[in-house]
Amino acid sequence: MKTDVLKQKISIVDVLERYTNATLLIREDGKSKSIPCPIHGGKNENFAVDSNKNIATCFSKCNETWDIFSLTMKIHNVDFKGATEMLKRDFLNDTKEKAPVSAPTPTDAKKNNDYKPVYDSLSQDDYFIKRGLSNEIIEKYRLGAVSEDTLELFKNIKGAPYFLSMYRYVLPVNNRFFITRLDEDKTSSHDAPRYRNFGEVELLNSHYIKDEEIQFIFVVEGYFDALSIETLGYNSIALNSVSNASKLIKEIKLNEEDARQKQFILIADNDEAGKELEEKLQIEFKKMNMSLHTVPLEGYKDINEHLIADSEGTEGFLEQQIDKCINGNSAFNILLDFFTEMKPVEPIKLHFPKLNDVLGGLRTGLYVLGAISSLGKTTFVQEVVDKVAEQGEHVLFFSLEMGRKELVAKSLVRTMGELKVEKKVNGEITYTRDLLSGNIKNQNILTLAIGEYEKTAKNLFIHEGMFDIDVYTIRQEIEKHIRLHNKKPVIVVDYLQILQPVNDRMTEKQTVDKNITELKRITRDFDIPLIAVSSFNRGNYNSEASFSSFKESGSIEYSSDVVLALELEKVKDIQDSTELNKAKSEKIRKITLKLLKNRFGKAFEEIQYDYITDMNKFKER
């Protein structure tokens, strides 16, 4: 088979997930979320995949880009011919060439490819009862322990009898593949893997996807988790490893018509790998436009641990998840949630009194602020969220154009100005350009400003973009931040038109529409405020701000909760671009903030500001 045909048939994602422990999250644009390099074992997130080009790249120690052949050569230390044979064997079921057997591995049993005699040879063991499984399930799934007859079947496979004397518990998946579970009493090693595979790895109960009689399918990581659910009378698919998530997606795509009639319910393990699995499957199901109900598992590591501790409680827990899938959208269910979860929610106070009064503070929702260039869009938003961070709220600032140092420098200049005006601190202010170049005018006032800004800076997290941030990156960073800090942040996206498309084939208008929709979805999913900065169409530079002013405005008017616009106060009197440029170059610019839409209260309000450009500061009038 020609190499270009193999490249078309075999995905680099599958190669990585099979040959390494990597778990990849592929976004709609075909690119993966960055992860630590699985090749050199890095700790930083410096490895990524482009599934469209079918390549993987390490941007750190390896500093290499691989296709499926070079990656296989790198991982297994084989030549091109060896890599080709491995890929054919492992991904195209080409078994003409056999891998040498040095120890029991997933390919050991290909000599007969039928493990039924193995299962028939197993002896009974109370280990499975102790794991909470019923006799009916133990019999149905042919669970048992390795016996002398079992060892006899493997006597001609090098190392297998010794191996199976430790990994005594056999967990059949089908006649082609089974898993063995370590008996901890048989080894003194504390770091031995608990499970080993025999045969080509497959999902447990993947046939459920095609079964017309089954409506609800619980998806879990481990074999015992699936059988715990089966013991209680429900249907479950086990991935048999987080890295096998892509196998589930493949099965669903192969049986899409049947799969769309099912409700999948994911119960991931209560650990970091489980959270990554949940993240990955949510993205994949969203791409397929299919429903995935995810269940947070609290108080237990996995569902088998839940079953052992509280069988009745586990059954009620599973029944509750099915009920949520059936009735989750009913008004009654929402009413109950509203009542039980109801608590006072104070909006975040804004330091501009008039703006705070008109908006009623900052609350969950999508806020869009637009203006022409040089009117201080970023400066205005930065001042607003700096004061929010000063109150102790976390702010995630996605700066797609301006660098971190420039943003911090602008804030320090504003702080120096406030110290000088409000606290009468002596000393010449170092303005932004001089500050960035190290030309300090007065060290004392700068030092005081740094101390004053410190509290704000601790709550402000700046993500600097190099034209590579999209809505899925933003979502992932928000999830990560909440996970690490246990605190929901206010989000800033500066600015909307630079946000990358989720699909390279989208037009500019389609991109803005899709991004606005996804940003709105983020505010709902995480229950947070998000401020997006937008540019204006050039054709509207000499006219008053309106919805039509927003560049590729599309869904901004309809999807946003609040739409604001900055305009020059005397825009009505400006006749040509010369007058416009003159007004835009004034040291103190007279600005009007127009409230074009406000889902939370008053609309069509106007507030006047002085934009003091040297100090990067707005002042209400």
What DSSP string runs through 580-598?
HHHHHT-SEEEEEEEEEEE
Are both 166 and 92 inside the same structural domain? no
| Whether the bond into 495 is cis, omega within 30 of 0 | yes
d(Cα 51, Cα 68) in Å, to the nearest integer?
11
Query: Helix or strand or coil: residue 567?
Result: strand
What local confidence, expressed as pLDDT, does residue 472 receive?
A: 85
Locus of tokens 């998840």: 321
Range list of β-strands (E), 342-457: 365-371, 395-399
Alpha helices by DSSP H, listed for 144-196, are: 148-153, 160-166
Residue 539 exposed, middle or buried by CB count within 10 Å (0-12, 13-18, 19+): exposed
Per-residue model confidence (pLDDT) at position 137 = 96
Q: How buried is 147 (Cβ within 10 angstroms: 0-12 exposed, 13-18 middle, 19+ buried)?
A: middle
Quote the CA–CA distance of 67 and 84 in Å, as a whole number: 12
Last residue of a domain, one of 170, 202, 234: 202
pLDDT value at residue 242: 84
DSSP state of 500: P
The three-state secondary structure class of 145 is strand
The pLDDT of residue 13: 87
CA angle (402 as vertex; 396, 407 as ends), nearest 5: 65
Supply φ then ψ for residue 196, to 5 degrees.
Answer: -135, 150
Which of 351-386 are b and which e, b meaning 16 or more Cβ less than 10 Å from the residue's Cβ? ebebbeebbeebbbbbbbbbbbebbbbbbbbbbbbb
Residue 345 lies in a domain: no
CB distance 17 to 241 below 8 Å: no
- Contact (Cβ atoms closer than 8 angstroms) between residue 374 and residue 616: no
Q: Are residues 485 and 614 in the same domain?
A: yes
| Residue 14, domain extent | 1-97
202 in Cβ contact with 238 (< 8 Å): no
Same domain as 546, residue 429: yes
Burial class (CB in 10 A: 0-12, 13-18, 19+), 322: middle
Place of tokens 């133990």: 138
Do 543 and 444 lie in a common domain? yes
Write down the pLDDT at residue 1: 60
Tell me, yes or no, whether 476 lies in a domain: yes
Return the pLDDT at 541: 63
Domain check: are 549 and 433 in the same one? yes
Do 260 and 183 share a domain, yes or no? no
- Spans in the chain with pLDDT lower than 50: 95-112
In terms of pTM, does the model score above 0.75? no
Looking at the fold, whether 293 and 357 belong to one and the same domain comes out as: no
| CATH at residue 437 | 3.40.50.300
Fill in the amino acid letter for 512: V
CB-based contacts of 486, cutoff 8 Å, min separation 6: none
> CB of 55 within 8 A of CB of 65?
yes
Task: Name 67's Cβ contacts closer than 8 Å, sequence gap at least 6.
Answer: 7, 12, 54, 55
The residues with which 612 forms a beta bridge, in sequence order, are 588, 617
| Helix (H) or strand (E) segment spanning residue 412 | helix 404-422
Give the domain CATH number at 46.
3.90.580.10
pLDDT digits (tens, 9 = 90+) for 261-315: 999 999 999 988 888 898 889 888 888 888 899 998 888 999 999 999 999 999 9
Domain boundary residue among 77, 97, 117? 97
For residue 160, give the CATH number of its domain. 3.90.980
pLDDT at site 81: 87
- Whether residue 362 sits in one domain with residue 334: no
Distances (CA, A) of 296 to 303, 317, 477, 480: 11, 11, 19, 16
CB 477 within 8 A of CB 463: yes
Percentages of the chain per state (helix, strand, coil), in multiples of 5: 45, 20, 35
pLDDT for res 594:
93
Considering the domain architecture, whether residues 404 and 528 belong to the same structural domain is answered as yes
Residue 395 in tokens = 């702010």
DSSP-derived pairing of the beta strands 64-66 and 55-58 = antiparallel
Tell me if residue 100 falls in helix, strand or coil: coil
Which residue, of 304, 339, 374, is where some domain finishes?
A: 339
Looking at the fold, whether 161 and 250 belong to one and the same domain comes out as: no
Question: Are 231 and 331 in a shared domain?
Answer: yes
**What pLDDT is recorded for position 104?**
42
The total of structural domains in the chain comes to: 4
Helices (H), 527-602: 556-559, 577-584
Would you say residue 346 lies in a domain? no
344 assigned to some structural domain: no
CATH number (domain holding residue 223)? 3.40.1360.10
Question: Considering the domain boundaries, does residue 347 fall inside one?
Answer: no
| 3-class secondary structure, 464 | strand
pLDDT of residue 96: 43
Looking at residue 252, its pLDDT comes to 92
pLDDT tens for 565-589 read 998 887 766 666 677 777 777 889 9
Q: Are residues 549 and 415 in the same domain?
A: yes
